Amino acid sequence: MIPARLAFTPDGTPYSQEYGDLYHSADGGLAQARQVFLQGNGLPERWRGRRLFTVLETGFGFGLSFLATWRAWREDAARCERLHFVSIEKHPFQTADLAVLYAKYPQLQSEATQLAASWPMLVPGLHRLEFEEGKLVLSLFLGDVAEGLPQLALSADAIFLDGFAPAKNPQMWAPPLLRHLGRLAAPQATLATWSVAAPVRSALQAAGFALDKRPGFGAKKEMLTGRLHVRLARDSTSTSNSSQAKVALVIGAGVAGAAVCERLASRGWQVTLLERHAAAATEASGNHAGVFHPIVTPDDSLFARCTRAAFLHLLARWPALSALQWDRCGVLQLARDDTEQATQQRALETLGYPARYAQFDQAQGGLWFPQAGWVRPRSLVAAWISHSGKNLKVQFNSEVAELVKSRETWLALDRHGETIAAAPVVILANAADALRLSPQKAVRLRRVRGQMTLVPTIEGLQHVLLRGGMALPGVDGVSVVGASYDIDDEDPQLRADSHAGNLARLELMLPGAARGLEPEKLDGRVAFRAVVRDRLPMIGALEDPRGGGLYGAYAYGSRGLLWAGLGGELLASLLEGEPLPVERKLAAAVNPGRFALRAARRMTADGLTSAPA
């Protein structure tokens, strides 16, 4: 990403040297935001009494319209329960420059200070920031509007059509791009912009908006407002507000299930968590400690982008979790050979990440992730359950033998056919057992045995090492080494050969660290992970012949600590009809129906059948 360069005109108005245009009217940025975008969209009146209201903005700049909207929302006693503000910015400012800009608007000091403190790393993709105890949500896409707008999944009630002038940045106002506004607009959506250029009017009318001219702000004679009157076809990843009862069952009290519970509870859902064991985090989530870090590839693959989104989400959310035991000590991913080292270097040269995200450690030969580290999974599960508060009921020793649909309600039955709990929505967060309760066609879910080895604290190791395995610094006097990756191996017992393999990997990372350690005498832990062939999780609605209301959050593999938080947020957003926290491509990449869709496409390509409707 290329950050914006801080510059001002002689009168002190923020100015873009790259586009040769002002960030806002010289007659006053805050007043312009209030007249053009807020009043132009009938705000705050239109959000009053609403459960959810969504604003879409096409040019974030340095966030002045967002801050003005935030202030108007805070001051409105009849405000909507939850306000989503979604915006796009190709050239975001650095945090230090934001402080300079915000000093010019002392009347917004409270909001501006919070925004600057939460400002994300400048890496591409959607960043979700929460304020006002989660009631105000900013989803900021960092990247070109031509890439971001088609990738948004939301239903906008108000649109702030902003950006540099069409003559200065014509790509941002191109008709094919503006047509996406019709796809993203909710029924009766409004829009407002300071531009009245004829090509802009024509493109917006083609997108389905009826337009009116109004007196403009400051030196601008006119401005434009509009209301959606022709509904364009919506795509499958778009969302709509749900009117169903906010009651759900979550099956599985590991990191996947606990994260879903916390995200639903934060939105007022009544959640029952069913766990077959006598305590939470008993299976893979019960490991002594685990690692969280993103993946980097030269082509910025879908897998890498998914890990980046999940990593940045947890960095934004975990600091608010009380009693969480974790350490951003850094993760060093050592290259296995010269070829892999060259690939790592090429990836960083190509993608140009900020050093806070990833850098190459020339001395040790590997990728260095300074914000990554380790966490104790049980503490993460406990923190999410605790944060769910009174909206969560946990039932242990409750193994679900069968799910039955009765009208609009799912019944979770035990092995005697007795109802354990019931709800209109069920989320399967029970790893490999999920397919037993809801078989998914075209899905092969495999169990992978993972044995970790516990050794005395490795002296001198201050950060996590990766190289075909992992080695953690001491956590409560113990370093975790491992883990084995034994596909379709159902042995739950500790094995000396697995310990020996883990020690061999340790020697490759830290020569001499395994000296004197005898595999037969070491302690450890065996856990089973569930994976599908593309190594991405299964998060979203499940197709089931018994009816709707069934969702999945499973197949997290060895990256459950990474996937869980974002998976919970994605599911909660789907169920609430909120803007999705990831791009459409990423949501499709983890959708549980992806394998059936690919199979259907292959059959169509082979001429065996016609494409599904």
Question: Which amino acid is present at 526?
Answer: V
Is the same domain home to 208 and 152? yes
Is the same domain home to 402 and 525? no
- Among the candidates 487, 508, 531, a domain finishes at 531
Let me know the angle formed at the C-alpha of 131 by 72 and 39, rounded to the nearest 5 degrees.
20
239 within domain boundaries: no
Q: Give residue-wise pLDDT tens across range 561-588.
A: 999 999 999 999 999 999 999 999 999 9
How many domains does one find in the chain? 3
Q: Kindly state the average pLDDT of the residues 386-390.
A: 97
Is the same domain home to 173 and 272? no
Is the same domain home to 383 and 474? no
Is the same domain home to 519 and 561? no
Please tell me the predicted confidence (pLDDT) of residue 164. 87
* pLDDT band of 243, cuts 50, 70, 90: low
Q: CB within 8 A of 317, min separation 6: which ones? A: 130, 565
323 within domain boundaries: no
Here the CATH number for the domain that contains residue 419 is 3.50.50.60
Please tell me the predicted confidence (pLDDT) of residue 439. 85
Flag whether pLDDT at 612 surpasses 90. Answer: no
354 within domain boundaries: no
Is the same domain home to 110 and 182? yes
Q: Give residue-wise pLDDT tens across range 460-471.
A: 999 999 999 999
* pLDDT band of 26, cuts 50, 70, 90: confident
Please tell me the predicted confidence (pLDDT) of residue 605. 72
* pLDDT band of 610, cuts 50, 70, 90: very low
Is the same domain home to 432 and 538? yes
- Among the candidates 531, 559, 581, a domain finishes at 531
Helix 560-576, helix 302-317: angle, nearest 10: 80
Here the CATH number for the domain that contains residue 527 is 3.30.9.10
64 within domain boundaries: yes
467 within domain boundaries: yes
Is the same domain home to 122 and 52? yes
CA distances from 42 to 37, 39, 190, 321 (A): 9, 5, 8, 37
Is the same domain home to 36 and 25? yes
| Average pLDDT of the residues of the chain | 94
35 within domain boundaries: yes
- Among the candidates 531, 548, 574, a domain finishes at 531
Flag whether pLDDT at 611 surpasses 50. Answer: no
363 within domain boundaries: no
Peptide bond connecting 44 to the previous residue in cis, omega within 30 degrees of 0 = yes
Flag whether pLDDT at 238 surpasses 50. Answer: no
Please tell me the predicted confidence (pLDDT) of residue 241. 40
Is the same domain home to 526 and 541? no
Q: Give residue-wise pLDDT tens across range 348-359.
A: 999 999 999 999
Q: Kindly state the average pLDDT of the residues 358-372.
A: 97
Q: Kindly state the average pLDDT of the residues 415-432.
A: 97
304 within domain boundaries: no
Please tell me the predicted confidence (pLDDT) of residue 418. 98
Please tell me the predicted confidence (pLDDT) of residue 219. 86
Flag whether pLDDT at 233 surpasses 70. Answer: no
Question: Which amino acid is present at 427?
Answer: I
Q: Kindly state the average pLDDT of the residues 364-382.
A: 98
Helix 64-75, helix 109-117: angle, nearest 10: 120
Here the CATH number for the domain that contains residue 84 is 3.40.50.150
Say what the pTM is: 0.95
Please tell me the predicted confidence (pLDDT) of residue 232. 64
Find the range with the poorest average confidence among 194-198, 393-397, 440-444, 455-459: 440-444
Is the same domain home to 163 and 94? yes
Q: What are phi and psi of 217, to 5 degrees?
A: -100, 140
Token pair 């957003």 is found at: 573
- Domain span at residue 491? 446-531
CA distances from 298 to 225, 301, 565 (A): 43, 8, 26
Question: Which amino acid is present at 61?
Answer: G
Is the same domain home to 260 and 208? no
42 class by beta-carbon count within 10 Å (0-12 exposed, 13-18 middle, 19+ buried): middle
Q: Are strands 125-131 and 136-142 parallel, antiparallel or unpaired?
A: antiparallel
**Termini Cα distance of the chain:** 39
Q: Give residue-wise pLDDT tens across range 99-145.
A: 999 999 999 999 999 999 999 999 999 999 999 999 999 999 999 99
